[in-house]
A and B are shown apart, each in its own frame.
Chain A
Amino acid sequence: GENVEQHPSTLSVQEGDSAVIKCTYSDSASNYFPWYKQELGKGPQLIIDIRSNVGEKKDQRIAVTLNKTAKHFSLHITETQPEDSAVYFCAAETYKYIFGTGTRLKVLA
């Protein structure tokens, strides 16, 4: 069935450095790739998304890239801040959304 792999599972960076999280998906019919941030005790929040007809999208310090041929997509956070610390999930969608296993990001002050 559909599968989304996400790496790394944990990531620690110094404040101000960049963080990169990578995902691969198995279903070539997937056309929509959102990223979510989940803070402790809360539901996942959509932070950025990308559709298959676009290779890159940027929103302030956050960017997402997509390589449909290789079935890879990545989240890039620049100038990280302590409030970026959370668990981040990628997802791939055909008609249902399949999530990666999550990356726990710690930004060290």
Chain B
Amino acid sequence: NAGVMQNPRHLVRRRGQEARLRCSPMKGHSHVYWYRQLPEEGLKFMVYLQKENIIDESGMPKERFSAEFPKEGPSILRIQQVVRGDSAAYFCASSTAATNEKLFFGSGTQLSVL
């Protein structure tokens, strides 16, 4: 049973370009979370999605950032017109249910904006 799969592992973009980060949850998991981590810092909640629904996006900037989790295919975190401050590690995690269930993380995508 494969774990949470994220790709790419490393992504380099120039300022103004778009970044698309992909996350395939564990088999049987229908809840996906995205977190952002700066060096030497903790995990900051960005967005929580179920299939085809955004449940909570309170941690995601209103502009340039969007997330989706379609009925088929991976969850996508999209960052438009990237700026240097977007450079960070972005982690996806998945679980089977909304509450009281184990959360499993992927290996992350390291985004570097030049």
Contacts and interface: CB of A to CB of B under 8 A. Distances in A.
Contacts, number: 59
Contact of B102 (A46, A96, A101): A46
Interface string B92-109: 010000111111111110
Contact of B100 (A31, A91, A99): A31
Interface string A43-63: 111100101000000000000
Number of contact residues on A: which range applies?
20 to 34
Interface stretch (B11-19, B41-49, B62-70): B41-49
B33 A51 contact: no
Nearest to B91: A43
A89 B103 CA distance: 13
B54 interface: no
Nearest to A52: B100
A96 B105 contact: no
A99 B43 contact: yes
B103 A46 contact: yes
A95 B106 CA distance: 20
A49 B103 CA distance: 10
Given A95-B48, A97-B33, A43 B100 contact: no
B52 interface: no
Given A43-B108, A44-B91, A102 B42 contact: yes
A1 B103 CA distance: 21
Given A100-B42, A102-B41, 7 more contacts: A31-B100, A42-B107, A89-B42, A95-B98, A97-B103, A99-B45, A101-B41
16 contacts: A31-B100, A32-B99, A32-B100, A36-B105, A43-B6, A43-B91, A44-B105, A45-B105, A49-B102, A51-B100, A93-B99, A96-B48, A99-B35, A99-B44, A99-B45, A100-B42
